[in-house]
């Protein structure tokens, strides 16, 4: 509750001071989506103010779309940035997240080295026993996850990789620097699915919430599959625009 500041000497209404303190904490990232706020009673007791004042502050924040009340559970931060993109420009998603450094940060949470994964190996056209690097990367906007990626890169195309490579570089740039075969084109497939418990935890959503699942194949000039990426976008906070042309 240390993000709330009240100055009873000021002429500014106390309910506004409380509301603006919470808004400031949200904008700075001290409070993020689904963080639980103190109860009205706790704020009343801490600052020796009336319940009416706190209710006015929370009602104002609700009207501004900053918080929500869940009956029987409490009051939670509800605002969360949305990611919007034309569907036909999906190939640029990595560029957006890497170039807009003021808005997005990237974190690699897993690096692995595998020799068998049925789904990934089928997509990569690898045989069991051929080694493959696996990276799990989360991209966030003000601490709110906007994208979860699992990136599979065959060792035969990428003999030396490090986790820092994916934190500091766009995937396309990494591929062009780490091996000689440039990307010729991408192949994307989109489908709506329900989040597993692990995916929900990493995306800060609830299990079974809707997510966009996008498979991306990175195809080289000789039609070889240079990499395979599974992308998970939280459905409630992602919009892909489809443009339809009348003929």
pLDDT at 98: 61
pLDDT at 245: 54
What gap in Å lies between CA 212 and CA 233, rounded to an integer?
A: 5
What gap in Å lies between CA 194 and CA 28, rounded to an integer?
A: 31
pLDDT at 234: 92
pLDDT at 100: 60
pLDDT tens by residue, the chain, 247 residues:
889 999 999 999 999 999 999 999 988 888 888 899 999 999 999 999 999 999 999 999 999 889 999 888 899 998 777 777 777 677 667 666 666 655 778 888 998 989 988 999 999 999 989 999 999 999 888 778 889 999 999 988 888 777 666 666 677 777 767 666 678 888 989 999 999 999 999 998 889 999 999 999 989 888 899 999 999 999 887 887 776 656 6
What gap in Å lies between CA 156 and CA 39, rounded to an integer?
A: 56
| Per-domain boundaries in the chain | 14-77, 83-241
pLDDT at 84: 76
pLDDT at 107: 86
What gap in Å lies between CA 55 and CA 81, rounded to an integer?
A: 26
pLDDT at 236: 82
Nearest alpha-carbon partner for 132 in 143, 144, 116, 147: 116
Q: Which two tokens stand for residue 43?
A: 């704020």
**CB < 8 Å & 24+ apart, contacts of 122-128:** 123/152, 123/215, 123/217, 123/225, 123/228, 124/152, 124/154, 124/225, 124/227, 124/228, 125/224, 125/225, 126/154
Cβ neighbours, 10 Å, residue 8: 9
Q: Let me know if domain 14-77 sits in CATH 1.10.10.10.
A: yes
Angle between helices 40-47 and 51-63 (to 10 degrees): 130
pLDDT at 174: 72
Residue 45's φ and ψ, nearest 5 degrees, are -70, -40
What gap in Å lies between CA 110 and CA 177, rounded to an integer?
A: 22
What gap in Å lies between CA 82 and CA 241, rounded to an integer?
A: 13
Across the chain, where does the E strand assignment appear? 67-70, 74-77, 83-86, 104-114, 132-141, 144-154, 183-194, 210-220, 225-234, 238-241
pLDDT at 244: 60
pLDDT at 56: 96
CATH topology of domain 83-241: Chorismate lyase (3.40.1410)
């Amino acid at each position: 509750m240390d993000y709330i500041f009240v100055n009873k000497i000021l002429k500014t209404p106390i309910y506004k001071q409380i509301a603006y303190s919470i808004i400031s904490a949200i904008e700075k990232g001290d409070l993020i989506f689904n963080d639980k706020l103190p109860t009205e009673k706790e704020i009343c007791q801490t600052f020796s103010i009336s319940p009416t004042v706190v209710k006015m502050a929370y009602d104002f924040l609700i009207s501004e779309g900053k918080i929500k009340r869940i009956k029987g559970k409490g009051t939670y931060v509800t605002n969360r940035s949305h990611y919007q993109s034309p569907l036909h420009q999906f190939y640029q998603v990595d560029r957006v997240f890497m170039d807009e450094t003021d808005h997005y940060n990237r974190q690699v949470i897993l690096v692995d080295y595998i020799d068998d994964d049925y789904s990934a190996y089928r997509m990569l056209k690898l045989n069991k026993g051929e080694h493959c690097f696996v990276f799990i990367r989360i991209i966030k906007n003000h601490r709110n996850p906007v994208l979860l990626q699992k990136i599979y890169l065959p060792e035969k195309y990428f003999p030396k990789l490090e986790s820092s490579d994916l934190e500091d570089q766009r995937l396309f740039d990494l591929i062009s620097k780490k091996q000689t075969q440039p990307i010729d084109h991408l192949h994307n497939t989109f489908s709506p699915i329900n989040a597993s418990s692990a995916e929900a935890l990493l995306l800060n959503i609830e299990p079974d919430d809707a997510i966009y699942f996008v498979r991306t194949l990175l195809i080289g000039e000789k039609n070889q599959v240079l990499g395979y990426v599974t992308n998970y976008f939280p459905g409630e906070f992602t919009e892909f625009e489809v443009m339809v042309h009348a003929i």
